[in-house]
Every structure is written in C-alpha cells, then in structure tokens.
Amino acid sequence: MHRWNYNIYAPDNPSTAVDFAIKAGDEWATIQVKTTHKKTGVHLKRESRGTGDNSRGVYHYTEGDFDYLFAVKFPKVYVVPFLAIRANTYVGFKDYEEFAYDLNDPSTYTNPPHLLGELNG
C-alpha cells in the first residue's frame, strides 16, 4: 500500500472487522487482509472476543464490514471490492483473476488499483 502511495492506518481494537484503513486526500477505504501459501482461496471469517469473559465467536463478514479484501497468495495480491464477492464464506482465487496484481510485475507499482473514489461511483 505504501508503494501505491496510500496512507495506512491500523485500528486499535483487535475485534474490528477491518485490518487497515487507507487514506488519500480526504477519502478513506477499509481493508480486510487474508493470506495463504498453499490453498486456492481464502475463508472469510473472523474471530471476535467477548467482553470480560474471554469467550470467542466466529463470524462471517457482511456488507459494510470492509470495502476491499486483500487476499495474498504470493506472487499475487487480489484486491476485491466487497460488493464483488459472491459468497460471504470463501473467495476462490480462480474466480477473481480480474482483481489480481502480480507483485513480481513492475507495472503493478506504476499502475496500482484506484481504490479511493471508486466506492462512491
């Protein structure tokens, strides 16, 4: 994200639905990050901690939880808008190749995804 000239912010609350918020100018977007080394996709679930009792729950994401999913399977990063995700439980990489960026390709850094401004049309 730094190489794409976005400012990055991390929330203090570990139970939030987002991993990072990015900013450029006056515009903000929220990001959820998932990584895998061997699998063909990522599961969309999060753990939430209960207050005071150390209980945990597993929840699937819903609309409004984040703006973009960054799913990383080196050498690619998939930058998928939440509204383009077809199932709220799993993102299979082969179904989202149009959102893939090859981190070994120099053009990935000179032609980054335009994340801000696209949320509002």
3 state DSSP class of 121: coil
Q: What is the pLDDT of residues 60-115, one digit of tens each?
A: 888 899 999 999 999 999 999 999 999 888 999 999 999 999 999 998 888 878 77
CA dist., res. 109 & res. 82, Å (int): 23
**Amino acid (1-letter code) at residue 111:** N
Specify the DSSP element, H or E, that contains 79.
strand 76-81
CA dist., res. 119 & res. 121, Å (int): 6
Q: What is the pLDDT of residues 16-56, one digit of tens each?
A: 889 999 887 788 999 999 988 778 999 888 776 666 555 66
What CATH number was assigned to the domain covering residues 2-110? 3.40.1350
Query: What residue spans define the domains of the chain?
Result: 2-110
